Amino acid sequence: METLQSIIEESKDKGYFSIVQARTFTKRCFNDLIDDEYSSSTERQDAIDLVKKIVASESQSSGSTDEYYDYAVVFARNNEYDLACDVLSCGLNRYPKNNDLLAYYLLCATKSSSDEHYKRCDNVYETLQSIRPHLWTWRAYDFSISYLLDKNDRETGVELKNIMSECLDLAHEFQKRIPTNELAYLVIP
């Protein structure tokens, strides 16, 4: 069974952290929370220590867009949205135009306790908007609309009407581009 120390030592030998290996380790740590309350705090801390090391050395991590996404999902499912955003930021540094990473960042940042994560959302959303619409996945539409609805709840003033109009436009575009996805019909505010 891998330990935090063995992963760190292996990363020194290889010269990088494997995102797949980190996700597998982290998922096991969080799953063990259910099985054994005593070891849970230690294993949870190991998972957090590992992601902090990966974030600190982000140029020394290796993974595909899906692997960064899946790693972030492990943290989000355990209500660790700050860490999920950090993982997504690492992925976005390597793949700055991936619409799933951008979209999931928007969703996690609205739930993050870090103001810095939320402040980055406008730039992330602009980057997502710069991607041709026919390349958008259902996540890009669904999570963008969730972000805009959250922004609508946080903002005040004249911009509110524009935000709701943009949500409606995105929902219609979602229905047009991916008509077989039922989420396209559930997101209209």
Quick: pLDDT tens for 147-163. Answer: 999 998 887 665 777 88
Is residue 110, in this structure, part of any structural domain at all?
no
CB 167 within 8 A of CB 152: yes
- What residue numbers bound the domain in which 91 lies? 1-105
**Would you say residue 128 lies in a domain?**
no
10 Cβ neighbours under 8 A, 6+ residues apart = 21
* Residue 162 confidence (pLDDT): 85
Whether 32 maps to a domain, the answer reads yes
Sequence-ordered list of residues with C-beta below 8 angstroms from that of 128, at least 6 positions apart, any chain: 99, 102, 103, 106, 140, 144
62 contacts: CB under 8 Å, gap ≥ 6: 16, 17, 18, 19
Confidence of residue 39 (pLDDT cuts 50, 70, 90): very low
Select from 65, 156, 80 the least CA-distant residue to 113.
80
- How does residue 99 score in pLDDT terms, banded at 50, 70 and 90? very high
By mean pLDDT, which of 52-61, 99-108, 116-125 is the weakest?
52-61
13 in any annotated domain: yes
What confidence tier does 40 reach under pLDDT thresholds 50, 70, 90? low
Q: Alpha helix locations (H) across 110-182?
A: 115-119, 121-129, 138-154, 159-177
| Contact yes or no for 93/86 (Cβ under 8 A) | no
Model pLDDT, residue 145: 93
- Residue 135 is assigned to a structural domain of this protein: no
Both tokens assigned to 35: 């099985």
- Answer yes or no: is pLDDT of 58 > 80: no
Question: How many domains does the structure of the chain reveal?
Answer: 1
